[in-house]
Amino acid sequence: MNLKSRSLSLLKTLVLTVSLTSVVKSVHGATYLLRDNIVGAGFFDAFEWQAIDDPTHGRVRYVDQQTARNLNLTYASGNSFVLRTDDRTVLSPFGPGRSSVRIRTKKTYTTHVAVFDVRHMPQGCGTWPAIWETDEVNWPNAGEIDILEGVNDQVPNASTLHTGPGCTMPAERVQTGTNGQLDCDAAVNGNTGCGVTYPTADSYGPPLNRIGGGWFAVERNDQFIKVWFWPRNSGSVPPDVRDGGVAIVTDNWGVPAAHFPNTQCDLRRHFGNHNIIINLTLCGDWAGSVYGQSGCPSTCVDFVDNNPAAFREAYFDFAALRVYQ
């Protein structure tokens, strides 16, 4: 090979290397491909039902998949998957709690984006619904990301991280939400975590349900964790979110509701392989402890035991869960 040919070959190799580097950077920085498209009956295959004692000490009895299906607590039809609590039974104060459901993905995820198309979420006094991610065995040292969570219909939504010691968030960040505690350590202030409260009431509970729900999305990588929310009636929903695209570009999604950067927290060290968990508990450590300040009647446990009809709206209805990597 002469000098000119060798120079041209080296130039082509350099151009190809730069091009491939740009593509890889794009894929891992802002563009993700659809890996798990979970719709309708697909939830029964993608998730496992956790018939366990409630770790948050709620007035519930989590049931297995077959029991949940027999009691109509989980069912699917077309592109709808419903997860609910029992709304028929008056409970004995000496017996188990109200039958409810807690499900966990069979797969685990690190760097990913998850988009939850939520038509309806549980509402009512005593309710404590959550969509979240964690490694239960290694909690809190492997981290927890709360995407949608609240209690007793108290709006708006909040997204929160819980970790082991040594993870904090800066006071100044680019997000639409409002900072709460900045220390994510679960051992600080009774496991408050580092939360961000959303700017609009329609991100949670009855206001969310009145508009037909919306989309919640979380992006996690080693540089940051971000959570977005778009109401169903919003004109600013990104097309790849609204249409469930096979590829998504998160750089086009605008400012998130909650932004957790790695500037004061080594996210790779504090967050492990996470399952996605969806559950509905009642009363318990949070909903029960603030029940008296929520404008709800009676006591939390008495209300849950004696008013099954109050839980007719205590259900999730998912149009889809899509995970991108």
Which residues are identified as catalytic?
A: 144, 149
The helix/strand/coil state of 101 is coil
Q: Residue type at 111?
A: T
Q: Residue type at 167?
A: C
Angle at 179 between CA 293 and CA 145, to 5 degrees: 85
Residue pair 279/74 in contact by the 8 Å Cβ criterion:
no
| H or E element, residue 196 | strand 194-197
Annotate 158-175 with DSSP letters as a single string.
EEEEEBSSS-B--S--S-
Residue pair 312/91 in contact by the 8 Å Cβ criterion:
no
Radius of gyration of the chain (CA): 22
Residue pair 65/59 in contact by the 8 Å Cβ criterion:
no
Residue pair 115/322 in contact by the 8 Å Cβ criterion:
yes
